[in-house]
Chain A
Amino acid sequence: AQSVTQPDIHITVSEGASLELRCNYSYGATPYLFWYVQSPGQGLQLLLKYFSGDTLVQGIKGFEAEFKRSQSSFNLRKPSVHWSDAAEYFCAVVLFNTNAGKSTFGDGTTLTVKP
């Protein structure tokens, strides 16, 4: 079945430490890939996206993600986490040739940052 998986429900890191959030997808073809961040009671903010080309993409707030076709993964990374990064993170995919923008989201990963 087609799906998006975020294996880690909750991650806690210390401020200043590095971060990696995992995302795997299961589709017949390479979808368009996105990472969003959501603060409590807020909408979603796009961190970065991958459509094609360079498999390492840079986003806002110092985030980057690497697309690995062989692993069907699109993991999000940040070298040094700030307390303000505490939030919910969602990986999403859009299939090529579907309704424009129709997204499927992973279950999300809650990031807690320790001082």
Chain B
Amino acid sequence: GAVVSQHPSWVICKSGTSVKIECRSLDFQATTMFWYRQFPKQSLMLMATSNEGSKATYEQGVEKDKFLINHASLTLSTLTVTSAHPEDSSFYICSAARGTGSYEQYFGPGTRLTVT
């Protein structure tokens, strides 16, 4: 149990376009989901915390208008990179916490975004 999927696993888009990444908890309800960004050979950087039915909480330095996060249901959160630029190219990973007050999170397989 506790499987998290991401779609797509990789995507290439042109500069100026928007791309949406989905994060789904397949066999549990996730009140809270997290979005991370990871550059090559680097650690995970938390971008935002997504709570079902409310606005996401963004980390300092993350542009809210550029990285739109929606957590419309207990099993789905989406990250939309708007007006993407080459510097947005990265590996995006989501995770989900099972239930309220859970301190353990389950990670998706990641999405590789390349902006040309």
Contact = CB atoms under 8 A, between A and B. Distances in A.
A39 B107 CA distance: 13
Contacts of A96: 103
Contacts of A36: 107
Interface in B10-51: 31-32, 34, 41-44, 46, 49
A100 B100 contact: yes
Nearest to B4: A43
A89 B103 CA distance: 19
Interface residues of B, number: 28
Nearest to B6: A43
B112 to A, nearest CB: 7
Interface residues of A, number: 25
Interface secondary structure of B, over-half rule: strand
Contact of B32 (A46, A101, A105): A101
Contact of A101 (B104, B109, B110): B104
A96 B102 CA distance: 10
A94 interface: yes
A101 B42 contact: no
B97 A41 contact: no
Interface string A13-35: 00000000000000000001010
Interface string B90-106: 01010101001111111
B105 A103 contact: yes
Closest 3 CB pairs of A and B: A101-B97, A101-B105, A44-B107
Interface of B: 4, 6, 31-32, 34, 41-44, 46, 49, 57, 91, 93, 95, 97, 100-110, 112
